Structure 1
């Protein structure tokens, strides 16, 4: 098997530097984890981009969207498009996003508007998939959108413990229509999950709290990231 991807959530420069030192392959750059991760400022992005060499994906998500279960109003969507455009101008070239409608289906208008702004950048559809009404339909509706190369998912809204069967079933369908994008496992992920996930063919992993043994009030621990890197 090829080297698996380890992605680490970074809130700022200290996190990013520690994650890179520990062996992270990529960062997910966000702000305000109390709101489950929102779009960082251009200034934060620029500082982090200057501090590390590894790729970083920037979250495109507003507080209102997070509160509404990933539903996006027209005003919020236009604001996010403007933020995405500004981040692109600052040099951002990878992103994370995801929107659902009131019925739990992918909000294609929102997704396609954002993608039109960030194209041809690669992007991850985040854990909104775990709250979707129909995961298979969502994947097939999003298939073919330019740049989509990963789904950040725990397989369940409640985390990897409950989502393991879904993750393994979806991994077994890799390459089928709607299943071309890589599974990036995150959300309650623990080290003891790794052998089963790796045996199932999954090769990308996302950690946040696991990289911070002292909690979210403390920065990323390079040693904790290194421990995950070695385990993978």
Structure 2
């Protein structure tokens, strides 16, 4: 990683060569795309992990909602342990309660059940009612190293201004924030200036933005070069 950490969202092993050869620093693995990303089965996870020589974080999510149950919790812990045994560097998770608040107790319990494992809070945070309160809650969670966010349920096309303002106001938000959900090149220098150092791309690195297309090395490389070139030339 030369300057900013570039994470590429992948869905299967065929996405890995383009992501890695293009310069990804880390991969995020989930299946299902925008219809509701979920945890991959063990065979799919194993295939990705065998193919990748960069760290991979795997999603822990068993249903299309942002809530979970006691029965699911036990399965999530077991699934996380399986992914780690297969070679995952970390996991991705994030749960809300019935009031659309960050379910800090459940997230902390799951993180503590996987001690020492770094993890990302996924874009469930964008569905909460009060983003500032949500950030105050997530920043205290054990093991958390990234928060994937577009600042709005509609992604960065709607949430960019508020998300950038949060990062500018609070160095801890900037440290944890990983802009995701429709990131465009013009936004990167401004996030970097605010102190953000990790970024996620998904459809941006698939030809035509299609989820049916495999991750393309050339498109990943363009983002790699953008992050590297921003090192000495942040916005402003």
| TM-score higher than 0.5 | yes
SS state of the match for residue 102, structure 2? coil
2:231 is matched with: none
CA contact (8 A) 1:148 1:181 kept: no
Q: What stretches of structure 1 of length at least 5 have no aligned partner?
A: none
Q: Tell me which of 140, 152, 156 is aligned to 1:156.
A: 152
Relative distance call for 1:182 and 1:224 in structure 2 (3 A) is same
Instruction: Please name the residue that 1:139 is paired with.
Output: 135
State the TM-score, normalized to the length of structure 1.
0.89
Count of residues paired in the alignment: 225
Distance (whole Å) between structure 2 residues aligned to residue 100 and residue 186 of structure 1: 19
Change (3 A) 1:27 1:109: same
Structural mapping, 1:61-210, within 5 Å:
61-62=61-62, 64=63, 66=64, 68=65, 70-176=66-172, 179=173, 181-210=175-204
Which blocks of at least 5 consecutive residues in structure 2 are unaligned? 228-236
State the distance in 2 between where 1:204 and 1:231 align: 13
Secondary structure of the corresponding residue to residue 54 of structure 1:
coil
CA positional deviation for 1:114:
1.4
Give the alignment of 1:23-38 within 5 angstroms: 23-38=23-38
1:185 shift after superposition: 0.4
Shift of 1:34: 4.6
8 Å Cα contact 1:151-1:181 kept in structure 2: no
SS at match of 2:58: strand
User: TM-score, normalised to structure 2's length?
Assistant: 0.87
Is the Cα–Cα contact under 8 Å of residues 28 and 57 in structure 2 kept in the other structure? yes
Q: In structure 2, do the counterparts of structure 1 residues 98 and 160 end up closer, same or farther at CA, with 3 Å as the change threshold?
A: same
Query: 1:159, 1:228 → 2: CA distance?
Result: 19
